[in-house]
Structure 1
Amino acid sequence: MCPPASRHRASHDGPSSPRSRRYSPDLTPPWKRKASVPEVPADRDLVVEEVTTGFCGAVVRVEKTAQGPTVTLEDRFGKLRVFPMEPRGFMIDGKVVTLVRPSSVAPAPARPTRTASGSVAVPGARARVARAGRIYVEGKHDAELIERVWGDDLRIEGVAVEFLEGVDDLPAIVAEFAPGPDARLGVLVDHLVPGSKEWRIAQSVTSEHALVVGHPYIDIWEAVKPSSVGIAAWPKVPRGQDWKTGVCRALGWRVAHTGEAWQHILGRVRSYKDLEPELLGCVERLIDHVTVP
């Protein structure tokens, strides 16, 4: 039997009568209209129940097909079933919902990234126990620059870096270290040019298990590319003057704060691309030398 209101013609009621306001503009009675249901993104792992079959499972994937979008569900036994994503086709916690496309796209597989030195990064890698081998550099600034660019590589390889506070002590340090097949020593020296004092000292301690290499720059500052620091070139400092002080003076930096100047320089180094090739080659040789199996 039809509901009582259906026996009345709409034209018999005035436009403002209570009965006429019970119809939608298309004259569909309210008791025949479907109530709206929530739209829920079909995100992965969302648990839903398909209303027709009662199949309950977690969303595995959503796909586009010629017949429309489908959703694949996996139940607790690992069984997979594919259903069309029809309106009002699913239930969550006993309430009817309409599944719509996922709210986010699954992230793309992670691509290999590189360390500051250009090596392929190893996600989640732990630092290796320190080797007996060591790399020595002349000073604190040298050690900080190497850590900035090669730190990740050195930790994975288990190589420690220490500084000498000057190359004059190198012979005594090498003698005490006593490099051998299982404890190789690598040394990075500033301004290592043939005939220099540094060159003669390096020659005196070089052996099969002790490698001394050096760059041609007066100071490690100069191994950072001028363009990375934001200058046209490193200033020429007259012989006999303190090089760092002369650089600060020529560039208008505070002369009494060379440490502050170094932090500014170091802060501009992001990767190996900010360093001169001569330094890159030296450090790579040292790492290879001390990590020989």
Structure 2
Amino acid sequence: MSDRYGHDVLSGDWRRPPRGRTTDVATEIGMVVEEVETGWVGAVTAVETIGGRRVVRLEDRRGVVRAFPLGPGFLIDGRPVCLLPPAPAAAAPKAPLRSASGSVAVPGARARVAAASRIFVEGTHDAELVEKVWGHDLRVEGVVVEVLHGVDDLAAALADFGPTPQARAGVLVDHLVAGSKESRLVAAAEARFGGDRVHIVGHPYVDVWQAIRPERVGLPRWPVIPKGTDWKAGIAAALGLPQTSTEDIGLVWKHLLSRVRTYADLEPSFSGRVEELIDFVTVGG
């Protein structure tokens, strides 16, 4: 039977907005959302209470973080949503806790008595980076990281340590490339102490700063610093940070280190070598 009066334009959901109606979504760490008013797009890094008001922190692709009031006014895949507080932890499926290195964490574990084996790194910054990402693993295994303060001290440090098949030494060397001074010193040390006692690996970077993925600090790539310019001062300048004193450079490193959350923020050519050394010194442990 035909409709003699035609279609009722008011029938159906005629007030429906073009993008659809707002739906409630429980906020999850890592979800990507857009704040409608500013157009800010970022991944959720935290939900906090500031001044009695719940806010969500969004980190954009450059690593910049901004906070916005939790609630309506967001888009997910173009759909309007109202961000609710995260679902209670009890409602989430239980999964193994992970350390910053990606290994299964051991909650409440006390540091073991130091094992006989050691890992040596070239500088304080190397040691701090290793500690931030692999500190949990090293404490569980009882492995101590020692600082060499330069590869020139490598042979003397190893002789003083006295490596054995049961007390192994793993060494991480900066800028280990073919034909370099570092490569010659490493070859001499390996020949002297033997591969069952000492394992030496390296990364290709001028400084361990470059082991951090540049996008984590807002750079598309690490800049090439002209010869004659202090490398770290040049990097600080590229980041728009002060670089005229030792204290300035120390603060630049603290800034870089703060951008590292897990092994995923590091170049594989660095993180892979650290994992290799941990495996070497914990064999049989």
TM-score scaled by length of structure 2: 0.64
Quote the Cα distance in structure 1 between the aligned partners of 2:122 and 2:205: 13
Q: Cα distance, 1:108 vs. partner?
A: 5.8
Does 1:184 pair with 2:168?
yes
Counterpart residue number, 2:201: 213
Is the partner of 1:218 in helix, strand or coil? Answer: coil
- Which amino acid in structure 2 is aligned with residue 179 of structure 1? P
Q: Which runs of 5+ in 1 are unaligned?
A: 1-103
SS where residue 127 of structure 1 aligns? coil
Query: In 1, distance between residues paired with 2:237 and 2:108?
Result: 45
1:155-183 CA-partner distances (Å, limit 9, x unpaired): 00100001111111111111111110111
| Distance across 1 between alignment mates of 2:172 and 2:265 | 19
Q: How many angstroms apart in 2 are the aligned matches of 1:263 and 1:292?
A: 33
> Within 2, Cα distance between the matches of 1:113 and 1:229?
27
Aligned to 1:158: 142
Q: Using the alignment, how far apart are the partners of 2:211 and 2:90 within structure 1? A: 43
Deviation at 1:241, TM superposition (A): 3.0
Structure 2 residue corresponding to 1:268, chosen from 254, 259, 274:
259
Equivalent residue for 1:228, pick from 216, 223, 229: 216
Q: 1:148 aligned to 127, 132, 141, which one?
A: 132
Whichever of the two has the greater Rg, that structure is: 1
> Does residue 1:200 correspond to 2:160, yes or no?
no
Stretch deviating more after TM superposition (157-166 or 232-241): 232-241
Cα distance, 1:242 vs structure 2 = 2.1
Q: Deviations over 1:190-217 (max 9, x none)?
A: 1000110111111111222111100000
Write the deviation string for residues 52-96 of structure 1: whole angstroms up to 9, x where unpaired: xxxxxxxxxxxxxxxxxxxxxxxxxxxxxxxxxxxxxxxxxxxxx
Count of matched residue positions in the alignment of Structure 1 and Structure 2: 190
Letter in 1 for 2:240: G
In structure 1, the partner of 2:275 is 284
For 1:106 and 1:285, the matched residues in 2 are separated by: 36
Matched residue of 2:278: which SS? helix
- What residue is the counterpart of 2:73 in the other structure? none
Superposed CA RMSD in Å reads 1.7
Which SS does the other structure have where 2:165 is aligned?
coil
Q: 1:279, 1:211 → 2: CA distance?
A: 15
The change in CA–CA distance for 1:245 and 1:214 in structure 2 (over 3 A counts) is: same
Equivalent in the alignment of 1:237: 225
Scaled by the length of structure 1, the TM-score of the pair is: 0.62
Secondary structure at the residue paired with 1:235? coil
Letter of the structure 2 residue corresponding to residue 275 of structure 1? L
Larger RCO: 1 or 2 (CA < 8 Å, sep 6+): 2
CA distance in 2 between partners of 1:124 and 1:169 (Å): 37
In structure 2, stretches of 5+ residues that fail to align are 1-87
